[in-house]
Structure 1
Amino acid sequence: MSRSIGRSVVAAVVTVGVVLGGAGPAHAIADGDPVPDGRYAFSVKLTMTGIPTASGGRRDSACSGALIAQRWVITAGHCFRDANNVRVDRPVADLTTATVGRTDLTDTGRGIEAEVIAVRQSPTADVALAELSVPVRRIRPIRLSTKAPELGDIVRVTGYGSTTSVNPAPVTRLRTGQLTVVALSEPVVGLHGYAPQPDTTPCPYDSGGPYFAEHGHRGPALVAVVSNGPSCPHTATENGARIDNIVPWIREVLRDVH
């Protein structure tokens, strides 16, 4: 699933899994930059095949995410919804695959693929944790920020989503851009596009992608995940689901290993 009302696209609507098709402009995340090979290797592409629909059919979709432990990926909670559009604590598709550490999705010699075997939904935020069938050992997970973002902070986002809300389709190469924090509430951080353009923003299929602060040698720290926003590209406010205030819940889930 991707994004719109949650940067996901359903059927032909910009909201959870549209039929994949249509090409976008040269840049993605909207008006973002391509990521160099191997950079931000914690970034994850989630591919869902065979999601039940209310009419009894099946659809395919995709989300973005980030590796936070060897067997756990963080993403948006709305990426796992049943046929009634209700968030659930389980994979909803016939097959959900996480691709980790593959900047160019066509380069199958890099990175790792693993099936999502379990899901945990945050009780307070649009955040889900997806457990992988095998551990990812050679890629460093992103660390979790325990500090609330501040107004004016600049954060980076990565994602495998579309470049536009018009005929959205996921890209095959990881993209990135920067946004600035303009608002803060208990579950949500509000962001505006910053670089490389004022309308650099997430798009459909970027749902769950990581917003992170960059701290030089300390490495990136996860601040939020892509949740929802207007049709992209745009210069209005994006909403990210905050991470800092649910870190205790995240750590509790990570300790609850099968």
Structure 2
Amino acid sequence: MRVRAVLSAAVLTLACTAGALATALPASAVANGSDVPQGQFQFAAKLTMTNIPKPDGTHYDSACSGALIAPQWIITAGHCFHDVNRKPISGPVPYDTSVLLGTTVQSDGLGVTRKVTDVLQAGTNDISLAKLDSPVTGIAPLTVQRDAPTVGQSVTLAGWGSLSSTDAKPSTKMQQGSMAVSQVDATTAGVIGVQPSNTTSACLYDSGAPYFVPNETSGQLVSVESDGPDCPHSTPETTARADVIADWIAANAV
């Protein structure tokens, strides 16, 4: 099992640090998924991080996925924001992070962009809240499912992960997959692929991507992407449950 954002950072520096990574990298993100039609899932966010420091004094770029949970807040994986030793941190954003919402295709003139100013770590599980420099209007945020997920529950995954195993980079098109909850633990839930394939799965740059139940306005958030095996795969992906920190989200994402 590998934390998605840790791998994504390694991929972006692989070209200049050949041989530094001893194990194989996952193949793609929302592997064996499908394009999201324009106009859907406007709350789904692409986070782009730049100039992230490394212990040796060098820097790299990376990315995560996430979702609008309140007009000025994005929910994503806790490990997307960390110090130089990769320890998750709260406070002022540790490196420049931009957010794209309101579009399923990354292109000039499409969507809404914001900057992250501050980060809050849930601590209970691998979830963080990222505060935006100004509220987002015209996009309905996800609400939080307060009941525990159940085995067999259907959820949708939407993320901006890499589509190439040989040239790994964040996608310019949002991808989706139909998933099912396969296991429920104290603060996490296992999720497996259903459609388009049983090997539909999250991968590089999908850290923080939402697993949700769509509705007429937006959807109910069940969990967020945390980590998993090399993809594509048919085995469970580890996701961080939103219901166990619903009160914390409500108290802070205001």
Normalised by the size of structure 1, how large is the TM-score? 0.88
Structure 1: gaps spanning 5 or more residues: none
Q: 1:98 to 1:65 in 2, by over 3 A?
A: same
Matches within 5 A, 1:107-118: 108-118=108-118
SS in 2 for 1:78: helix
More displaced 10-residue stretch of structure 1: 158-167 or 173-182: 158-167
The residue aligned with 1:92 is: 94
What is the total number of aligned residue pairs between the two structures? Answer: 243
Give the letter aligned to residue 117 of structure 1.
Answer: T
| CA–CA separation in structure 1 for the residues paired with 2:11 and 2:61 | 7
The residue aligned with 2:246 is: 247
| CA–CA separation in structure 1 for the residues paired with 2:71 and 2:138 | 9
Q: 1:39 to 1:65 in 2, by over 3 A?
A: same
Deviation at 1:59, TM superposition (A): 0.6
| CA–CA separation in structure 2 for the residues paired with 1:19 and 1:117 | 24
| CA–CA separation in structure 1 for the residues paired with 2:153 and 2:57 | 45
SS in 1 for 2:253: helix
SS in 1 for 2:226: strand
| CA–CA separation in structure 2 for the residues paired with 1:250 and 1:77 | 13
The residue aligned with 1:7 is: 4
C-alpha offsets along residues 20-45 of structure 1, whole Å, 9 cap, x if unaligned?
A: 799x99x8510000000010000000
Identity %: 39
| CA–CA separation in structure 2 for the residues paired with 1:154 and 1:20 | 36
- Alignment partner of 1:133 is 2:133: yes
The residue aligned with 1:75 is: 76
Deviation at 1:138, TM superposition (A): 1.2
Matches within 5 A, 1:19-58: 19=12, 29-58=30-59
| CA–CA separation in structure 1 for the residues paired with 2:79 and 2:36 | 26
Deviation at 1:19, TM superposition (A): 1.3
Normalised by the size of structure 2, how large is the TM-score? 0.90
Matches within 5 A, 1:137-216: 137-163=137-163, 167-214=167-214, 216=215
Deviation at 1:135, TM superposition (A): 0.8
The residue aligned with 1:18 is: 11
RMSD value, Cα: 2.0
| CA–CA separation in structure 2 for the residues paired with 1:70 and 1:244 | 20
Q: Runs ≥4 in structure 1, deviation > 2 angstroms? A: 14-18, 163-168, 216-219
C-alpha offsets along residues 66-120 of structure 1, whole Å, 9 cap, x if unaligned?
A: 0011100000000001111100014221x100111121012x2222111100000
Deviation at 1:163, TM superposition (A): 2.8
SS in 2 for 1:19: helix
SS in 2 for 1:139: coil
The residue aligned with 2:120 is: 120
Structure 2: gaps spanning 5 or more residues: 16-25
Q: 1:150 to 1:233 in 2, by over 3 A?
A: same
